[in-house]
Structure 1
Amino acid sequence: MTSDEEVAPPVPYRPGYELVAEQILQLIAELELRPGDRMPTENELAARMGTSRTVVREAVKILSALGRVRAHKGRGLYVSDDEGMLGSSRWGGFFLPADLDHVYMLFEFRRIQETAASRLAAVNATPVELRAIETAAETCRRGHETGETALFDRGDDDFHLGIATASHNQFLVAAVREARRLQRQTNIIGMSGTLGGHVPGAIEEHAAIHRAICDGDPDAAARAAAVHLDNTLEDYRREIQRRVFGQ
């Protein structure tokens, strides 16, 4: 090999159950199974995917925790009959957490929701709601400083839902909650539950959104929310490509 030849970067290791969880979601989509439909058995999934039943069982546990699959003892596996706004059949198709096109669409949807919610929050937020948003932002900061991923995630959820609540629009609250539920699936399956490299920037962006809402500036709040969502999407894109494609 000459010095001019490029060496391909090693493909990052991913546990087998993560890969199988993605494959099961792909299979559900390919078979056009709907909520409530019965799925292949664990043995059938293992044979189809060339893996062990143990690995399939671990993948099913992940998907059950995410609300995508239901396991009934003695009856088999079923596509979750999720009546969530985005998870139900009336929205069409299935969200695949490691599919970049789906991630892009989700963030596009989130951008529309959360810029609107931030704009309304700047007009409607009460002192109690402003304190809740500030507390959530500080929880994110503590999670980052201590390396506690769960603490950061909890603060992040509370921050975005807090802004939606402060918008005083219950449709936005429901939409933000459902979109974040799907984003957690991307985080758990596509990113192995880790935080991306954008976390320090996200903390500062949270602060900028909070300041604009406190100042009662709807335009600034919407701009800050849009910047935050755009930067978070770019972080997801880099992380998923690195993990799935080794890029």
Structure 2
Amino acid sequence: MAEQILHLIAELDLKPGDRMPTEVELAARMGTSRTVVREAVKILSAIGRVRAHKGRGLYVSDDEGMLGAPRWGGFFLPADLDHVYMLFEFRRVQETAAGRLAAANATPVELRAIEAAAETCRRGHLTGQSALFDRGDDDFHLAIATASHNQFLVAAVREARRLQRQTNIIGMSGAVGGHASAAVEEHAAIHRAVRDGDPDGAALAVATHLDNTLEDYRREIQRRLFDR
């Protein structure tokens, strides 16, 4: 029954956050009892595919339900430098894969979104607006993931970015100055490789960007710990 409900969600073209038919309506559609439907909904809720709100109904879970905060946020410690380094390692794996797929799959609309996000980053850097830079940076990495056409990668990139923002707790927020100038050029290199349909070039450009960003973190951490 749980699988049938998932098929129905696809047939109705319901998106994350959309309201689903009620349990009574599902039972009528499936030709079964409300009790059977309720048990199936419990299963789908447990695996993060459906959200049940008391008094409001059933909803298709958003992307965080697949790989989201309740599962990862519980063990990530933003002040633990080993965790920060591990998060970058994880980002390198997922985002190089996303870059490679984006180079093969990106549509013209998705390419424009990537370019626009890169330009937002550039404006943030040139004007010294860290919030604008950070917003463009988030949009850029999510746009690459979206262009991969792999929803698991989109969810993973979104969650990893959310966790990385928590490193602000140790004062690592913003990149205006520091690595920002290089990051702007690295974004441009990623965009060119994706636009040109070069999967290997895109993966290499993403890896270079993340490696350089991590090195910038390391230098800043060392400066704060030892250069006093």
Query: Shared fold by TM > 0.5?
Result: yes
Counterpart residue number, 1:193 = 173
Equivalence map 1:123-138=2 (5 Å): 123-138=104-119
- Please state how far the C-alpha of 1:99 moved relative to its aligned partner: 1.7
Query: What is the aligned partner in structure 2 of residue 98 from structure 1?
Result: 79
CA contact (8 A) 1:190 1:240 kept: no
Aligned partners of 2:142, 2:174: CA distance in 1, in Å?
Answer: 21
Look up the equivalent residue of 1:146 and give its one-letter code: T
CA RMSD of aligned residues (A): 2.0
Structure 2: runs of 5 or more not aligned: 1-63
Q: Does 1:87 align with 2:69?
A: yes
> CA shift at 1:93, angstroms?
5.8
The match for 1:37 is none
1:146 paired with 2:115, answer no
- Structure 1, unaligned runs of 5 or more: 1-81
List aligned pairs for 1:66-85, cutoff 5 A.
85=67
Secondary structure of the corresponding residue to residue 69 of structure 2? coil
Offset of residue 205 of structure 1: 0.4
Q: Secondary structure at the match of 1:193?
A: coil
Q: Does 1:110 align with 2:94?
A: no
What's the TM-score, normalizing by structure 1?
A: 0.62
C-alpha distance in structure 1 between counterparts of 2:169 and 2:140, whole Å: 23
Q: Which has the higher helix share?
A: 2
Change (3 A) 1:208 1:135: same
- How many Å apart are 1:191 and its aligned residue? 2.3
Contact 1:85 1:175 in 2 (8 A): yes
The answer on 1:216 being equivalent to 2:197 is yes
How far the C-alpha of 1:242 sits from its partner, in A, is: 2.3
Work out whether 1:202 is the aligned partner of 2:165.
no
Shift of 1:83: 6.2
**TM-score when scaled to structure 2?**
0.67
Show CA shifts across 1:90-135 (max 9, x none): x596212232211110000000010000000000000000000000
How many residue pairs get aligned? The number is 164
- Provide closer, same or farther for how the CA distance between residues 241 and 96 of structure 1 changes in structure 2, counting only shifts above 3 A: farther
Say yes or no: does 1:166 pair with 2:147: yes
Given the superposition, is the C-alpha separation of residues 92 and 134 from structure 1 closer, same or farther in structure 2, using an over 3 Å criterion?
A: closer
Counterpart contact for 1:132–1:162, Cα < 8 Å: yes
